[in-house]
Amino acid sequence: MSYENFLNEMQAKLKHIVPEPEIYIKAEIAYEINKLKAEKNAVILGHNYMEPALFHSIPDFVGDSLGLSRIAAQTDKDIIVFCGVRFMAETAKILNPEKTVLLPAKKAGCSLASSITAEDVRQLRAQFPGVPVVTYVNTYADVKAESDICCTSGNAKAVVESLEGETVIFLPDEYLAGNVAKETGKHIIFPSKLKTGAHPNLDYQMIGWHGRCEVHEQFTVKDIEDIRAQYPDVVILAHPECSPEVVAASDYSASTTAMIHHVEQTNAPNYLLLTECAMGDNIAAANPEKEMLRLCRVRCPHMNEITLEDTLAALQKDQYVIEVPEDIRLRAAKAVERMIQIG
Ligand code: 13P
Ligand code: SF4
């Protein structure tokens, strides 16, 4: 495609939400990225939280953690550039050991992933022998390696229900765990509230951990009340990393992709997303007829590390290469593949 046509397409997609001068600058970089991507036989995966100009110009596939894991498992390209955060790029590497996986920004972490270590999981296993461990994909490879099965926000309930036995250890997001406990009717408890030692007679069914997403933990029921007072017809969608109280006060809760589909498939006067704010912009760009309200005081600093400039540098310099030690990768792959099979 010529540069003129590419620029025209970007302008058509983004004109409602990105100022013209910004589109001119970003279109040049995005065009370079797409040329280099083809030359190097690379695929670009973009999480739904990427900023709108990047989201709508360079990814071959966009989606939530589950969707992108599935695509990563199937790609035949030599290089996977992951426009997302480190745990997502690690998941792609776990599933594609022979491929080069690049993360454009070194510092793209995640507060949930850094809330738990492999040693923490080993200690929980010792405390609750025989209880299966479910870990959210928002964890690093060594934590996944200590787990029986992974889950994402899109399949957490199905994963928990797929396990035999009444009790599961669900790590590390206390709010996602609380939301899944509600959905499955399970009683949840946190080890910090228990006396140390073994617990042979469990009278609870979900054991949680005190990890939180630094973005979603900040939304409150008061935010919802205030918005509803100002916009009585608003439909509020909350990601399940929000607290169970916030999820209960909202109208809909699901993974980022399911939230996008819900907005696209319904017809409310306006919508508010309680999640990383770029996603509202991305929906507004693709669906100019939708009225998206913004509550943008909370941003994900990690997702916002990923820029078009850094993605171009990633392809030019083959940086930053994601490595996972083979013994960890093999064990982590079992937990991730078991999750992908469940759907
Ligand atoms: P999704 O899997 O729903 O895209 O969520 C990932 C994430 O990091 C949410 O904060
Ligand atoms: Fe992690 Fe929260 Fe950022 Fe998602 S939004 S990557 S869970 S810190």
pLDDT by residue (tens digit) across 207-244? 999 999 999 999 999 999 999 999 999 999 999 999 99
Q: Which ligand is nearest to the CA of 66?
A: 1
- Between the CA of 303 and the centroid of ligand 2 the distance, in Å, is 7
Banded pLDDT at 201 (limits 50, 70, 90): low
Region 140-149: what's the mean pLDDT?
A: 98
Q: Report the range of poorest mean pLDDT among 20-24, 39-43, 98-102, 186-190.
A: 186-190
* C-alpha R_g of the chain: 20
Banded pLDDT at 165 (limits 50, 70, 90): confident
What dihedral do alpha carbons 161, 164, 169, 175 form, nearest 10°?
10
Domains of the chain and any CATH numbers: 3-110+303-317 (3.40.50.10800), 113-212 (3.40.50.10800), 216-286 (3.40.50.10800)
Q: Which atom of ligand 1 is nearest to the CA of 85?
A: 8
Report the pocket of ligand 2 as residue ranges, CB < 6 Å.
Answer: 85, 110-112, 138, 213-215, 241, 276, 300, 302-303
User: What is the distance, to the nearest Å, from the Cα of residue 132 to the centroid of all Cα atoms in its chain?
Assistant: 23
In the chain, count H helices and then E strands.
15, 13
Q: Report the range of poorest mean pLDDT among 106-110, 192-196, 224-228.
A: 192-196
- Between the CA of 129 and the centroid of ligand 2 the distance, in Å, is 30
Question: pTM for the complete prediction?
Answer: 0.95
- Beta-carbon contacts of 293 under 8 Å, excluding residues fewer than 6 positions away, are 227, 231, 234, 270, 271, 272, 280
Banded pLDDT at 71 (limits 50, 70, 90): very high
Banded pLDDT at 193 (limits 50, 70, 90): low
Measured distance CA(329)–CA(55) in Å, rounded? 29
Measured distance CA(326)–CA(97) in Å, rounded? 8
Q: Which ligand is nearest to the CA of 108?
A: 2
Report the pocket of ligand 1 as residue ranges, CB < 6 Å.
Answer: 48, 64-65, 138, 152-154, 213, 239, 241, 255-256
Region 317-331: what's the mean pLDDT?
A: 98
Mean pLDDT of the chain: 94
Q: Which atom of ligand 2 is nearest to the CA of 110?
A: 1
Both tokens of residue 175? 């709010």
Whether residue 123 is predicted with pLDDT greater than 90 in this model: the reply is yes
Percent of the chain exceeding pLDDT 70 equals: 96
- What Å distances lie between residue 64 and 50, 84, 152, CA to CA? 11, 10, 9
Q: Which ligand is nearest to the CA of 65?
A: 1
Whether residue 19 is predicted with pLDDT greater than 80 in this model: the reply is yes
Taking the CB of residue 327, how many other CB atoms lie within 10 A of it? 10
User: What residue owns the CA closest to ligand 1's atom 2?
Assistant: 65
Banded pLDDT at 195 (limits 50, 70, 90): low
Region 305-316: what's the mean pLDDT?
A: 98
Q: Report the range of poorest mean pLDDT among 26-30, 164-168, 224-228, 260-264.
A: 164-168
Q: Which of 91, 111, 153, 273 to mutate to test the pocket of ligand 1 (most atoms within 8 A of CB)?
A: 153
What pLDDT is attached to residue 343?
A: 66
- Between the CA of 241 and the centroid of ligand 2 the distance, in Å, is 9
What pLDDT is attached to residue 70?
A: 87
Whether residue 203 is predicted with pLDDT greater than 80 in this model: the reply is no
Bridge pairing between strands 149-151 and 168-171: unpaired
Banded pLDDT at 164 (limits 50, 70, 90): confident
Both tokens of residue 20? 């013209």
The DSSP call for residue 251 is: S
Q: Which ligand is nearest to the CA of 255?
A: 1
Q: Which of 143, 151, 239, 302 to mutate to test the pocket of ligand 2 (most atoms within 8 A of CB)?
A: 302
